[in-house]
Structure 1
């Protein structure tokens, strides 16, 4: 058998095995050593193939697709530092629990550690940031090679998709020549299918959970960012039966499209409310139940650590349950499911009175937030107005730092269908635009908006290269306060010396020329009135860059005024 035939069979066995395992999407960063697999993916009609020449951006682009679909996405690059540039997105995928199949092409063994070009040590390159790592054999005629590859692909996809989901790494070495014969049909699979088990609580866990609920007189639920694919209908059913206050983070996507009968239990303004001493004393709790990740709110974290509940129950599909506050008393390893609807829950009058305390605070805070845009023109007012203007059925991807905090503050319960997403696995500001672009490719039936700060935009401006290779549609909204706005709220701002050099870091950059470079419609906004007309006309250009200019000092003053007004009324 010729070397070319061996290589062709090897490549298409990898491709066929990925398709058999349910992979639909592949993101390729072009390079030489990955040529055989790039050809294999590009020539397979069953796959959606995307291109991005910047590997760091490509990895976040793939992350966005996987995050949107809740399905594994393949990421392919050549050898050397190309593979190293995937690292930030792999870290995010691990902590955000997103399934990625990272394939790095490699030099053959005889070219490693001998000074060959574009050859680095790629074995276990990503260390503990991936759930599993494997090195594939060099293509050869051994009869065990192709069956081994087929089953190793199944193992890799299984591991990526098993709760908690996450990235896996496959290192695939190739010798030259790197050309294959294109095939119209994929080879027949000898391994048919893997069935991933459900993660359900034990009978003992359910009984203990039910007993704690029924004995609780003051308790609330926290819902943070939920695992990919979570069916929130089970949570709504649980909330109806429980009738407790439910503190919902914006990333839970349970502040929008709220069922009418669940609306009385939804608390969205807890970050503002828990800044006031009187309110905190009123709502000290004995039991907390948390689904999903710990919310963004610093003041919720402080409240829980200063007033440790008797019972803090974490529902998590991972036995390594998340508990950054170190106050958890119980962990139930389970995914959200029908078991929540079947719990024999009883309600008591004391719990109803406790709910009223939260309800009163929520109503006061929502009223102040609703009136906020009438008195302010800072970033918070712009965000609140934007949330009111976004069309029904929109997706809003949000950068870390101030944008996600403003969304958490100013998104109050609504029946409108607006869904919020972010990279909160590692909370970085790198790769945000790339992730949003990838996310938008997987949800073309919804309009995509990205809310991002000027520094995060600069971090990932190469993301826009992807728009030259794929038909993308996105509105990028840059909050340009000329620097790192988040630090204005932190203790660093109290030390004037070196503050601007080390934390404010102004660049004096504006982004109209970036919009021109990528043929984007550009809109400059300096006040609320200009923002209010943003959606008066139908969007013609699928790519739009909206730059909103704000002042960091004004932002801080306006935010603190809002929090003070809310808590002053509650105190009174």
Structure 2
């Protein structure tokens, strides 16, 4: 098989997998693939100089539109930069397609320049679609759920004059079949990490069920008026007051500590309905995990007596300059119909408390597969790239520092209303809430929290973004219609006092 035929086989495979957008990080070895892609029709090409941002941007595109997106790299360590996004995609079960150019197979194990062991580089986190060389007799690929890896070995001279193909002419993959109905019962619902379209399906079922619901912002259930009487505010505190017999979890794995503590309560039955296939628990006793199709076919009934859960509302007025109060102010300032991406660690927990202040029609997304802080700005930009309304990112300072190259993509987006809100508290303050960390000497805590005195105005200037640092929530209204970095610096003593007050023991009424 010639190199031209190998490249065409790769393009046709991508089209068959449903790929209609490709993020390319160009180099010499993948130049034949990049030039061929640029000659294709029916496919959108995004350009990046750095592979990690490209992969997380692709992840965001998949999260928003629920369609496969490919990322194409050159050989060597460039391919290794895709691992973090691949792990995240694996635990979210998202079809991220990894196309890594490689040197010919005869170089493997030789230590020759840019000849690393790429064929199984991503291990359990990606299904190998193909490891293709011109010397192979067959180039049949395999599709699956979740990330897929296609390693394409190209020899010199590299062929860069390959005609493109029409991606839109490829046949779509067949839809998965639904399973049989299953009778299910529960007395408490936990909801997290659902696409707005999935949330609409879940809302109809949950309204009929009538059980109390503790929902994270990323569940997108707060948009449905029929669920208002069932939604319990208070998150972790509310859950601590509950005594459920059967928990129904819908969507992603929740961020609450209470969920993790279910490991030590095997008598509490847990039913998971999720697209990922992961139970989110190590124990198997009294735990069942069902595919998403069961939400359309299962028969649900509520367990009586109810679980006795209590409602709790944060008292932001007592700590108006604390970080949680600021998250509430920001949520209230985000216009109706916006798309919001929430960073991991504290921002997602704080927005879960403040979800009641969000305006109607706001969609929420987050990277809650592996819960890492890397690639958050890039994923946000991918999720926002084709959204017509305003798009907001709420993340911490260390998360922003982790992804400084991400704004490269903004010039390709033609999206004026991007708001990157950095909650700058001078380090990873979530560690200060971990009991074992609080007992450490201050010098050790300083290292663990990565304390710093950095500001984000130079970052905004570097990428030509508008910059705003404010301590007045009114400044968040009527923002300029240009991409912006907004820096918020909460008052640390008030933040500490808020969490001390919020975490006081729950006392149930007699």
TM over 0.5, shorter chain: yes
> Which residue number corresponds to residue 174 of structure 2?
195
**1:266 corresponds to which of 231, 255, 259:** 231
Distance in 2 between the 1:252 and 1:411 partners?
11
Aligned residues: 508
Q: Which residue of 2 aligns with 1:396?
A: 340
In 2, Cα distance between the equivalents of 1:75 and 1:224? 27
1:455 aligns with 2:398: yes
- Counterparts in 2 of 1:77 and 1:229: CA distance versus 1, 3 Å: farther
Distance in 2 (CA, whole Å) between partners of 1:88 and 1:185 is 31
Residue 521 and residue 84 in structure 1: after superposition, are their counterparts in 2 closer, same or farther (change >3 A)?
same
Deviation, structure 1 residue 63: 1.0
The answer as to 2:502 corresponding to 1:536 is: no
Aligned to 1:299: 258
Task: Provide the TM-score with structure 2 as the length reference.
Answer: 0.91
The corresponding residue for 2:485 is 545
* Pick aligned residue for 1:313 from 249, 271, 278: 271
Query: 2:472 aligned with 1:506, yes or no?
Result: no
**What do the CA deviations read for 1:401-441 (whole angstroms, capped 9, x no partner)?**
11111112221286711122111111111111111111111
Q: Aligned equivalents of 1:331 and 1:567: distance in 2? A: 30
- Kindly report which structure 2 residues correspond to 1:429-448, keeping only aligned pairs within 5 A, or say none: 429-441=373-385, 443-448=386-391
Q: Does 1:240 align with 2:184?
A: no
Greater CA deviation, 372-381 or 22-31? 372-381
**Corresponding residue for residue 463 of structure 2:** 518
Structure 2 equivalent of residue 55 of structure 1: 51
**Tell me, what secondary structure is at the counterpart of 2:371?**
coil
- Higher alpha-carbon Rg: 1
Q: 1:262 to 1:557 in 2, by over 3 A?
A: same
Among 201, 223, 227, the residue aligned to 2:191: 223
Distance 1:521 1:502, change over 3 A: same
Judge conservation of contact 2:30–2:75 (CA < 8 Å) in 1.
Answer: yes
> Residues 332, 452 of structure 1: CA spacing in aligned structure 2 closer, same or farther, 3 A cutoff?
closer
Q: Cα offset for 1:117? A: 1.6
* C-alpha distance after superposition, 1:142-198 (max 9, x if no partner): 9xx6xx54x52xx33xx1xx3xxx111111011122233353654998x85541322
Aligned to 2:500: 560
* Cα separation, 1, equivalents of 2:201 and 2:110: 57
TM-score, reference length from structure 1 = 0.82
Contact 1:389–1:535, Cα closer than 8 Å, also in 2: yes
2:299 maps to what in 1? Answer: 343
The equivalent residue for 1:289 is 248
Do residues 183 (structure 1) and 163 (structure 2) align? yes
Q: Deviations over 1:509-565 (max 9, x none)?
A: 11111111111100011x2xx22221234x232x2000111243431212222444x
CA contact (8 A) 2:251 2:275 kept: no
Secondary structure of the residue that 2:454 maps to in structure 1? coil
Q: Write 1 or 2 for the structure with the bigger share of helix.
A: 1
Unpaired stretches in structure 1, ≥5 consecutive residues = none
Give the whole-Å Cα distance in 2 for the aligned partners of 1:172 and 1:547. Answer: 43
Q: Does 1:334 align with 2:295?
A: no
3-state DSSP of counterpart to 1:411: helix
Question: Residue 373 and residue 468 in structure 1: after superposition, are their counterparts in 2 closer, same or farther (change >3 A)?
Answer: same
Give the superposed CA RMSD. 2.8
| 1:118-161 deviation line (CA, Å, top 9, x unaligned) | 211111111111133520122x7x9xx6xx54x52xx33xx1xx
Shift of 1:305: 4.6
Contact 1:396 1:448 survives alignment (8 Å): yes
What secondary structure, in the 3-state scheme, does the structure 1 residue paired with 2:121 have?
coil
Which is further off, 50-59 or 113-122?
113-122
Q: Which residue, out of 12, 16, 19, partners 1:16?
A: 12
Give the Cα separation in 1 of the matches to 2:453 and 2:275. Answer: 46
